[in-house]
Amino acid sequence: MKAASVIDYRELARARLPKFLFEYIDGGSYAEVTLRRNITDLEAVALRQRVLRDVSKIDLTTTLFGQNFSMPVALAPIGLAGMNARRGERQAVRAAEKAGIPFILSTVSACPLAEVAKAAAKPFWFQLYMIRDRGFMKDLLAEAAAIGCPTLVFTVDMPVPGSRYRDYRSGLAGAPGLMGSLRRMGQAILHPRWAWDVGICGRPHALGNVAPVLGKNTGLEDFFAWMRNNFEPNVGWHDIEWIRSQWKGSIVIKGILDRQDARLALEAGADGIVVSNHGGRQLDGTLSSARALPPIADEVGGRMTILADGGIRSGLDVVRMLALGANGVMLGRAWAYALAAGGEKAITHMLGLMRAEMNVAMALTGTTRIAEINPSIIHEIRGAA
């Protein structure tokens, strides 16, 4: 079944995934205020409809960090994505290549770098967290460089993991040992398609890039314990210098919400930033990406590449983010839902929907090229705080 929108793919994902995995994709931190704001604030951006303009030829192509892409959209790094469909990151990178857009592999992917590289015909981007074990980070960066990853997305908004209550209620987190395993197994049994396709045929479940440091401790509780104990809270802007010493490609800092931090990222030599609140999964109650983006674009726009994520559920939302000041966007939940609903084909279809929706939105705002999408096509932002 092909969905008619990202919302449809969300409902298909809910039906096909065990509860603990769907809640992991769908949920945010604490009361999920920021998660909701990401969507409602973006929806509140009203575009100016223009008429009697020649919009017979719409061009969505763009250039990001020296690479040409078919549209200003990337598949964001998603932890454990490979648990949503059989070897899911392999399917996602193929879909991204077909669509002509970047795929970004997460540090905490199910499939490791080498496996995804074998499935890919072109270089993909890699995402990294600041981890206490610098030797482990150095090895990962060297491996990513060796397989040709041109761009590093360095996520900085997770010195400690946010509290995601849905994960506790579903049994994904906070349910260690046999009881936790039995609870998740019971949920999997209720979804036999997933249990066969991913639970059995999708092995090994070794948590990819982190497997060397986890050793034999490969359970989900081991993974979350490793995150709590190994993400580095003692981190500063000087650490960007260390990253640069290990990485010769482009560096993009992900997790910027404040214009001062955007300026510091520029001063630190970053090639780009991602305006992001981690999909509402970290500090609850903070600004939505849509609210944070305009002042950040005012601060550093034109001097570095600005990407944004959070709440993007359609091609119309992509145009809204570009109008607010982004040069491109990252899709997170949108591709996770599609992957769970129907694998590579569903991601390809979802990206086709995004492209078609962008074409319509651009035509009706009188824009024909990505460079023409700017704040001048915004009529107002309703309900401004």
Q: Which residues belong to the active site?
A: 278
Residue 274's DSSP bridge partners are 254, 307
Q: How far apart are CA 69 and CA 123, in angstroms?
A: 13
Which amino acid is residue 260, in one-letter code? Answer: Q
Strand blocks (E) in 101-249: 104-105, 125-129, 151-155
What b-and-e string marks burial along 305-323, b requiring 16 or more CB atoms within 10 Å of the CB? bbbbbbbbbbbbbbbbbbb
Q: Are 303 and 285 in contact (CB under 8 A)?
A: no
Pairing of strands 125-129, 104-105: parallel
Q: What is the DSSP secondary-structure string of 293-341?
A: HHHHHHHHBTTBEEEE-SS--SHHHHHHHHHHT-SEEEESHHHHHHHHH
Contacts of 302 (CB under 8 A, 6+ apart): none
Determine the number of helices (DSSP H) and then strands (DSSP E) in the chain: 16, 12
Q: How far apart are CA 150 and CA 252, in angstroms?
A: 11
Contacts of 248 (CB under 8 A, 6+ apart): 145
Count other Cβ atoms within 10 Å, centred on residue 235.
15
Helix, strand, coil: what percent of the chain each, to 5?
Answer: 50, 15, 35
In the structure encoding, which two tokens stand for residue 342, read together?
Answer: 């129907």
